[in-house]
Amino acid sequence: MFRPIASDTYLAPSGISLGRPQAIAPTVANSMVTPPPYTPVQSPALDAADASWRAATGAERANSSLCVDHYYHTATLTWPYLGPQVPEVDRQRAWQLYHSSLSKLVEAGQRFYRLEPNRGLKVNTPHGAGYVSIEYAGFPWQPDDFNRLEPASITNQDPKIDRAILHNGLGVPLVAFRQRPEANDFLAGRTAFAATAVLEPDASGGNVVQAMYSSPDRSVPTIATLRLIDPTRIDQLTIDGQAVPIARNLSTSVSDSLSKTEDSPIDRLIRPDSPNEFDGLQMLEPYQPGKIPIIFVHGLISDRSTWSNMTNELRAVPWINARYQFWYFQYPTGEPFLRSAMTLREQTYAAVRQIDPQGQDVALSQMVLIGHSMGGLVSKLQATYSSTTIWDAYANRPFPAMQGSPQGLDVVSRLFFFEPAPFVKRVVFIGTPHQGASMASRSIGRLAATMVQEPPDRQQMHRMLVAANPGVFRSDFQQRIPTSIDLLEPNSPLLSAMSRLEFASNVRIHSIVGIRQGGFGAASDGVVPVTSARHPGATSEYFINASHGQLTRHKESITEVSRILAEHLYEAAAR
């Protein structure tokens, strides 16, 4: 009988490594789908399993759904031979046949409409029709979120992820896909998450989590259980009193969730009004009470995939995964980042109201923002008081005296006037141009700024506001809406005003700075000068020999972020 064992939840994050029990099975790649050439075995049952495998592959080549039954039969025949009491030659063969047939069972079962990942699997056995129920362990996801299952890749094929985080053990690593017509509940319409499949034959089916997992036809007996296990939270099972590590692939789902986007970042720069299903505040997983949100905010000409490698590494650390949840804010980078900051602010408030309307989850009041490049400026505007500082940088008339449509004035008010979000307690700046970047004022920056296509409705609102208030705005603001590139110029009035904004007194800030060129005084990360990336109010600064684009994925950045997250836990506990 199986019992899941959750990964330890560590309260003291520093200097901890996750111990691994001794494996009871051979250390081989368990996601392979073709066993090695046939060799004689000691058990007639394994001879039968070998024959069943050959029948399964033959049926699949013939495009026959009988392959599903044969793959199931292969897995059930080999199950009793996976333990340490079995002679090594038999155990090796059984291990390979079990995992190969289980992987193929998942694939073929869906292809021939015999496996519904959110319900169960129909099979035919020598004793008649049977039903394999599905039991889920450790997931924050619901059964209806399991719309498709795919074997996880055993190699890293994502250039935005430095390494695949894999662990050998019992079971087949999978990627589960949740698919919805559109984003909802701050989850993307298309979301991927990790799962590990273990088929346990001859299970009674009585110890299922929900009634929907049992056979829909009472005349068909439940003959086995397909256990889908969350490998980010459970790393071993108990079989007959012995701890058994499970196979885990923690990286493929991160790649499928974050690295596969619709439009190129350049398209989003030039056409900021083009729709994108990943725009806005979205969670990597459903909200989990008690976990502190980390909100990652990307920079100019980028998207949330810039956080793929950092997410891959951080989520593999048990205490981080146990105490934090990962949220992302994606936005079209061509629009003024003052507007992007407004969108993030309003969506974060909306998320907190929706998921915790009674204000009972203390973890939601300890949010950490991590912003790269321009994303750091968007993050800064979540934790500071605007007062009238930003407005005064663009207009010479108090806002209450402004003329215009109620709709237009409402938008302007939300853009220019705000207070720190009370749930943000820490901001990490990574390569953030607090004083601008000279690239924005160079010819390539000016060209890019002219290519940005501001939505027509915003252009019209801007013209009406300027016309209703002649002589009020700066001349450059009267001519057109400034793009994000305009606002990043070293002489930008917005950056000058932002340098005078006060942070909330309970917010801690940190800087990660790239240093690649020149001596220390003239150094930069290739885009942002060191002098611009430093912030006088930072409680810590960490300098990395890395280019601007590499800062979010660099191993030293990830190590420093881990340190900051550990510090945040200690300070949050002391509040």
Owning domain of residue 390: 278-574
Domain shared by 240 and 286, yes or no: no
pLDDT score for 373: 95
Domain boundary among the residues 253, 269, 287 is at 253
- For residue 275, give Cα distances in angstroms to 114, 318, 337, 424: 36, 36, 17, 28
pLDDT score for 568: 98
3-class state of residue 521 by DSSP: helix
Q: What is the pLDDT of residues 47-86, one digit of tens each?
A: 999 999 999 999 999 999 999 999 999 999 999 999 888 8
pLDDT score for 337: 87
Show Cβ contacts of residue 46 under 8 Å, excluding neighbours closer than 6 positions: 77, 78, 81, 90, 93, 94, 97
Distance between CA 256 and CA 263 in Å, rounded? 15
Domain shared by 23 and 57, yes or no: yes
Residue 517, pLDDT above cutoff 90: no
E strand or H helix that includes residue 375: helix 374-380
- What's the gap between Cα 344 and its chain centre? 17
Domain boundary among the residues 219, 253, 287 is at 253
pLDDT score for 460: 85
Q: In this structure, what token pair is assigned to residue 412?
A: 């302007």
Q: Does the residue 440 lie in any domain?
A: yes
- For residue 16, give Cα distances in angstroms to 19, 35, 140, 316: 9, 37, 25, 13
How confident is the model over 292-306, as a mean pLDDT?
Answer: 95
Please answer whether residues 53 and 105 qualify as being in contact, where contact means their C-beta atoms are separated by less than 8 angstroms.
no
3-class state of residue 22 by DSSP: coil
Show Cβ contacts of residue 519 under 8 Å, excluding neighbours closer than 6 positions: none
Q: Does the residue 270 lie in any domain?
A: no
Domain shared by 233 and 285, yes or no: no
How confident is the model over 364-387, as a mean pLDDT?
Answer: 97
Q: Does 439 or 388 have the greater pLDDT score? A: 388
Among the listed residues 310, 296, 280, 309, the one whose alpha carbon sits nearest the alpha carbon of residue 376: 296
Q: What is the pLDDT of residues 221-245, one digit of tens each?
A: 889 999 999 999 999 988 777 889 9
- What's the gap between Cα 548 and its chain centre? 22
How confident is the model over 457-476, as a mean pLDDT?
Answer: 88
**Band of pLDDT at residue 13, cut at 50, 70 and 90:** very low
* Residue 296 β-bridge partners: 328, 370
Residue 324, pLDDT above cutoff 80: yes
pLDDT score for 177: 96
pLDDT score for 217: 52
Residue 255, pLDDT above cutoff 60: yes
pLDDT score for 277: 81
- For residue 206, give Cα distances in angstroms to 134, 216, 224: 12, 14, 11
Please answer whether residues 65 and 112 qualify as being in contact, where contact means their C-beta atoms are separated by less than 8 angstroms.
yes
**Residue 550 Ramachandran class (φ > 0 left, ψ -120 to 50 alpha, else beta):** alpha
Q: What is the pLDDT of residues 440-464, one digit of tens each?
A: 444 443 444 444 456 677 788 888 9
Domain shared by 241 and 284, yes or no: no
- For residue 320, give Cα distances in angstroms to 10, 182, 291: 9, 29, 10
Q: Does the residue 269 lie in any domain?
A: no
Distance between CA 543 and CA 197 in Å, rounded? 43
Distance between CA 458 and CA 22 in Å, rounded? 62
Q: Does the residue 340 lie in any domain?
A: yes
Domain shared by 215 and 364, yes or no: no
Q: Does the residue 218 lie in any domain?
A: yes
Residue 6, pLDDT above cutoff 60: no
Among the listed residues 511, 348, 359, 342, the one whose alpha carbon sits nearest the alpha carbon of residue 426: 511
pLDDT score for 570: 94
Distance between CA 523 and CA 180 in Å, rounded? 47
pLDDT score for 29: 36
Residue 263, pLDDT above cutoff 90: no
E strand or H helix that includes residue 57: helix 44-61
Strands (E), 323-375: 324-330, 367-372
Q: Does the residue 262 lie in any domain?
A: no
Q: What is the pLDDT of residues 344-358, one digit of tens each?
A: 999 999 999 999 999
Distance between CA 116 and CA 340 in Å, rounded? 40
Q: In this structure, what token pair is assigned to residue 543?
A: 């300098």
Distance between CA 495 and CA 500 in Å, rounded? 9
Domain shared by 23 and 110, yes or no: yes
Domain shared by 337 and 481, yes or no: yes
pLDDT score for 453: 57
Least confident of 154-168, 251-265, 374-388: 251-265
CB atoms within 10 A of CB 63: 9
Distance between CA 516 and CA 530 in Å, rounded? 9
3-class state of residue 55 by DSSP: helix
Helix runs in 417-537, H state only: 443-451, 456-468, 475-479, 484-487, 493-498, 530-533
Q: What is the pLDDT of residues 84-108, one digit of tens each?
A: 888 888 999 999 999 999 999 999 9
Domain shared by 566 and 439, yes or no: yes
pLDDT score for 523: 87
pLDDT score for 406: 93
φ, ψ of residue 276 to 5 degrees: the values are -145, 130
Dihedral (C-alpha) 200, 205, 208, 214: value to the nearest 10 degrees? 110
Distance between CA 434 and CA 378 in Å, rounded? 11
Q: Does the residue 348 lie in any domain?
A: yes
Domain shared by 322 and 191, yes or no: no
Name the pairing type of β-strands 292-297 and 242-245: unpaired
Distance between CA 477 and CA 468 in Å, rounded? 14
How confident is the model over 303-309, as a mean pLDDT?
Answer: 95
**Band of pLDDT at residue 335, cut at 50, 70 and 90:** confident
**Band of pLDDT at residue 207, cut at 50, 70 and 90:** very low
φ, ψ of residue 440 to 5 degrees: the values are -65, -30
Average per-residue pLDDT for the chain = 85
Domain shared by 96 and 208, yes or no: yes
pLDDT score for 266: 66
- For residue 327, give Cα distances in angstroms to 186, 353, 370: 9, 16, 10
Instruction: Indicate which CATH number applies to the domain containing 337.
Output: 3.40.50.1820
Enter the DSSP assignment of 550. Answer: G
Please answer whether residues 193 and 136 qualify as being in contact, where contact means their C-beta atoms are separated by less than 8 angstroms.
no
Q: Does the residue 307 lie in any domain?
A: yes
pLDDT score for 239: 75
Residue 202, pLDDT above cutoff 80: no
Domain shared by 203 and 242, yes or no: yes
* Residue 236 β-bridge partners: 5, 245
Question: How many structural domains comprise the chain?
Answer: 2
Distance between CA 206 and CA 225 in Å, rounded? 10
Q: Give the full edge-to-edge strand order of the sheet including 324-330.
A: 280-283, 324-330, 292-297, 367-372, 424-430, 508-514, 540-544
E strand or H helix that includes residue 166: strand 166-167
**Band of pLDDT at residue 479, cut at 50, 70 and 90:** confident
Q: What is the pLDDT of residues 118-174, one digit of tens each?
A: 989 999 988 888 999 999 999 999 999 999 999 998 888 899 999 999 999 999 999
Domain shared by 289 and 196, yes or no: no
Residue 436, pLDDT above cutoff 60: yes
Distance between CA 105 and CA 70 in Å, rounded? 9
Q: In this structure, what token pair is assigned to residue 134?
A: 């599905």
pLDDT score for 439: 60
Q: What is the pLDDT of residues 519-561, one digit of tens each?
A: 545 689 989 999 999 999 999 999 999 999 999 999 999 999 9
